[in-house]
Amino acid sequence: MAFWWSKARRGGGQPQQPSPPRRPWLGGFLASQPRWLRIFLLSVGVMTLLGMTTLGVAVLWAFAILPRSLPAVSALETFQPVQGSKIYDDNDELITELHVERRIFVPLAQIPKSLRDAIIATEDRRFYSHWGIDPIGIARAVVQNYRRGRVVEGGSTITQQLTKVLFLTPDKSLERKLKEALLAIELERRYSKDRILEMYLNQIYFGHGAYGVEAAARTYFGKSVSELSVRESALLAGLPRAPTSYSPFDHANAAKLRREIVLRRLVEFGTIKEQEAIEHLHDPQSDDAAHGRAGAARWAQGARGSHGQGQAVRASGGRARHGRAPDGARQGARRRLRLLPK
């Protein structure tokens, strides 16, 4: 009985047949498909593998190798924009100022909220919520540009624009864009939003040689930035995107249209009411007088370069220089300076 049970367990004494080898699941699946589908699936797999390898190398380069070539943002701890050099006569009276870039630094507290809001609403409406780069803003810009069939909105944040101005060249290569993004993230990590905005507002170009909001306010309106109205702030806020195309001196209609766009964005941003924007659009007080004064100032500024000052002066250091200029040159400079707004 025990012998019979043992044989039964061993299969009744009959030798067991070896089971056929099992094909791998993927190989079996491919083998059961038509030839053209196998070729297609293998091609997709190879391309995916190559793509993932390329992406991995790109990520390694962008985050491990590229940062080694970036400038140190810690230099901005002592940031002071380049300002002009002043020329005085023997009696310590100012004759003129020489500028590489016409710029007057002002702290953020002296810049009116209307101008700050207008810049943010126009250039980077999510400035206080993103971390240097704004994927939502980039996606919105892509959609808007696709709908219009042309570039009407950029995806760069205020922080990215600042890094481009301070550290990078204006070329449009992929490497430069990656550097811009990495530097923007580092700036946001190191500095407060208000500090970044202050640097931006004192650094950005507004056209006609004016860098920063104070120089722009004096150039276009003959007054300090702290005295600007909402209407004037809206005009300035529209300039950085294309200072030449929106110049109120050279393209008055385009400048007014751009100002309307900025006012509309202020309404969308929740800074002003729609009725207030309409009142600013139909303000009977014209900007022409201010533009005229600023135009005279601009003419006088250009005239300074055509008259000798007695000696060559290096204008990039923001220094005060004293020296005796010829009487004719000094008197000519004073006559032209009288055209500047008081």
Apex 151 CA angle, 133 and 142, nearest 5 = 50
- Of all residues in the chain, the percent with pLDDT exceeding 70 is 58
Quick check: is 53 in a domain?
A: no
Answer yes or no: is 211 within a domain: no
Range of the domain at 88: 80-100+288-342
The answer as to whether 8 is a domain residue is no
Distance CA 109, CA 194 (A): 10
- 240 within a domain of the structure (yes/no): no
Answer whether 0.85 is exceeded by the pTM. Answer: no
The answer to the question of residue 250 being in a domain is no
What are the tens digits of pLDDT across the range 32-74?
777 787 778 788 888 888 888 777 766 665 565 555 656 666 6
Indicate the number of domains in the chain: 1
Name the burial class of residue 128, with classes exposed (0-12), middle (13-18) and buried (19+) by CB atoms within 10 angstroms of its CB: exposed
DSSP H or E stretch at residue 97: strand 94-98
Q: Which two tokens stand for residue 331?
A: 């008197």
DSSP E strand stretches across 212-330: 320-322
Q: Report pLDDT digits (tens) over 75-128.
A: 566 555 555 555 655 566 655 555 556 788 999 999 999 999 999 999 999 999
Would 96 be classed as within a structural domain? yes
- Give pLDDT tens digits for 119-173: 999 999 999 999 999 988 878 777 877 777 766 666 789 999 999 888 877 777 7
185 is a domain residue: no
Does the residue 296 lie in any domain?
yes
